Amino acid sequence: MLVQKIETQGAENMHDQQHNIDPSILNNVHVLQTENVKPSAETERAFRDALGCFGTGVTLITARTDQGPIGMTVNSFASVSLDPALVLWSIAKKSGRYDAFRNASDYAIHILAKNQLDLAMAFAKNGNSFNDQEWDMNSGKVPLAKRALARFECESEAVHDGGDHSILIGRVKRFSQRAGQPLIFNAGKFGTFSDDEI
Ligand SMILES: Cc1cc2nc3c(=O)[nH]c(=O)nc-3n(C[C@H](O)[C@H](O)[C@H](O)COP(=O)(O)O)c2cc1C
């Protein structure tokens, strides 16, 4: 296994060099480049960093439970099928919100706008971060955020096993969209598009 350019405290003499090292070090440091690493418990941090290179939008997913509304910040959202209209997202089985979303018959997926970082941060920390002024309810009592860039009101179509996550497939019953710029998540950071041309 090859590791390059480790940037961290505690590994100063590895900067800008290539080293064959004990893979367990990868759980303590952030690396800029890795090669041919086998995914394992020891290399989970590096695996997450590599996955984090995939920039995504940010969604807020809401549902109704017997205890009240619940929400979660999620970036595993993806489109699946146009006909029928299907989308997917995945939820960690260890999440305290797992049972609520796993058992929800309906949920709403909101694609967040760049000025909705507050919602993303709040619902990453706490599933009950609802503020009355920002929410409507649909007929199924699923909370709908007022300012989202796009919204997909879904019925749960299927739940598939996905290792330490479950993959939830939603059938879109209604959707909405408004003009605006998305909130972006990449390499553990939130951001937006700049106006620069690529
Ligand atoms: C940008 C971002 C994306 C996230 N995406 C997911 C996701 O796709 N699936 C998931 O289970 N948790 C995801 N999370 C974590 C949850 O939002 C939340 O922080 C976590 O469920 C907290 O643990 P708890 O549910 O036990 O309270 C994400 C967090 C952030 C900040």
Condensed to tens digits (0 to 9), the pLDDT of residues 102-155 reads 999 999 999 999 999 999 999 999 999 998 788 999 999 999 999 899 999 999
Q: For tokens 């990868």, what's the residue? A: 26
Ordered structural domains, the chain, with CATH = 2-51 (no CATH), 56-185 (2.30.110.10)
Does any ligand 1 atom lie closer than 6 A to the CB of residue 91?
A: yes
Q: How far is the CA of 74 from the centre of ligand 1 (A)?
A: 6
**Residues near 129 by Cβ (< 8 Å), separated by ≥ 6?**
71, 119, 122, 123
Query: Are the CB atoms for 185 and 193 separated by under 8 Å?
Result: no
Residue nearest to ligand 1 atom 10, measured at CA? 91
Residue nearest to ligand 1 atom 7, measured at CA? 74
Does any ligand 1 atom lie closer than 6 A to the CB of residue 169?
A: no
pTM assigned to the model: 0.88
Query: Per-residue pLDDT tens for 72-82?
Result: 999 999 999 99
**Residues near 196 by Cβ (< 8 Å), separated by ≥ 6?**
none
